[in-house]
Amino acid sequence: RVGTGNVEFAALFAPKPLGLTAADDWTVEMETKGFPELQKIYKMYDAQENVMLEAHTHFPHNYNLVCRKALYHWFNKHLELGFKEIPEEQPFPFQAKPVHTVWNDEHPEPESGDAFEKKLVKQWHDDAQQQLDQLLYSSKRGLESYKSVVGGGIDIVIGARLPRNTEIDYEQVHKVDKGHFLEIGGFLNHIKNKTSIPILFLYPKEWNQKTVIWISKSGKAGLYAQDGNLTAGIKTLIDQGYTVMGVDLLMQGEFLVDGNPIPKTRRVANPRQAAGYTFGYNSTLFARRVHDVLTVISFVKHHETNPESISLVSLDATGPIAIAARAQARSIVDHLVATTNGFRFHQVDDLHSPEFLPGGAKYHDLPGMLAVAAPSATYVAGEKELPKVTLRAYAASRQADQLQLGENDTAAALEWLMAQ
């Protein structure tokens, strides 16, 4: 339900008859928030009489007699049952499980329990993976099919695409002359999502028309060393004329009160450890950080200076974030330099981990995110060998040379980048 909710789901039923009840639960404000909007939808179909709300918010969450009577009247009307008066409910004898069960010697109860559920989920997984594996053939047509299906899945998992330039507003806060480059700081505001991202530009006075977006676990502070000077890698880029852009992703840098990285993500106050209670309604921290990167990419893409190329670099634990963002941005990002450190989403065993991403492992995991961006230039570090899925994608594109397995070394990675 991320980005939507039950009211929008209910609206899809229009103009067919829809009866609703409200109680002292999440529907407590339904009379003023939700139902009026549903009425407007039904009015567009000239079917106002086909939507009804029975609100009894003095009762807690329930399906009590008052609500059931409303249901009986609604069904009597729209199913044309013909009752002039709805019959009263009648008492019924309680039946214990042995009496009302449908299972017997001829129809035994099917397997259940934790072990069975794990086995069933694995069967679903294996079936899906087999179908995904069959998508990736050696032809360009096969690659396009793969990118459509797997890319479509990743699109849902991440939950955001590149925002339009009209959805982004830039607010400059400071501008400092550092000699051969300018340091410019401010905020990128995503108007629609109501988010604000602290950013920092290092703009060389002799710009080569190329921009590097540098993602770091330290946020924009990762552009500088502890002594206040540029890090060696950033200095190399600035000296070569690249504009470098740093960013504080959600819960980095300026988002932190004490400056320390968060070990666990925020959660709702519910003792039951089920991901759906939080992440069925909200994007995970990992996804939100990818959204931030996409906002930055869109801003650079549509900037009035019209950069010749956009490169995305991440050489620490944020590498998977950069890879996921590139999977969504595709060819808008001309070059990706990222280390995986061997990370895979299926390794995450804590639903409150900052790396937790529901569905992240399904579509060939991190290698699938690399694969859908083929044949865009990519430097991958942190792997013993290039993932087979990614290799097959680049081979199918007939541009396997655009995929490079490299060292997890800043100098080597930037040497590759500057040679492009």
Amino acid at 79: L
Q: What is the pLDDT along the chain (420 residues), one digit of tens a residue?
A: 888 889 999 999 999 999 999 999 999 999 999 999 999 999 999 999 999 999 999 999 999 999 999 999 999 999 999 999 999 999 988 888 888 888 989 999 999 999 999 999 999 999 999 999 988 777 888 899 999 999 999 999 999 999 999 999 999 999 999 999 999 999 999 999 999 999 999 999 999 999 999 999 999 999 999 999 999 999 999 999 999 999 999 999 999 988 899 999 987 677 777 888 788 889 999 999 999 999 999 999 999 999 999 999 999 999 999 999 999 999 999 999 999 999 999 999 999 999 999 999 999 999 999 999 999 999 999 999 999 999 999 999 999 999 999 999 999 999 999 999
Name, in order, each residue with C-beta under 8 angstroms of 45's C-beta and a sequence gap of 6 or more.
14, 15
The CA distance from 410 to 413, in Å, is 5
Amino acid at 74: W
By DSSP bridging, strand 377-381 and strand 168-177 are unpaired
The tokens for 154 are: 């990743």
The tokens for 125 are: 């997984």
The neighbour count for residue 52, using CB atoms within 10 Å, is 20
Local structure of 1: helix, strand or coil: coil
Domains along the chain with CATH numbers: 6-78 (no CATH), 165-418 (3.40.50.1820)
Q: How far is CA 27 from CA 12, 141, 376, in A?
A: 18, 48, 48
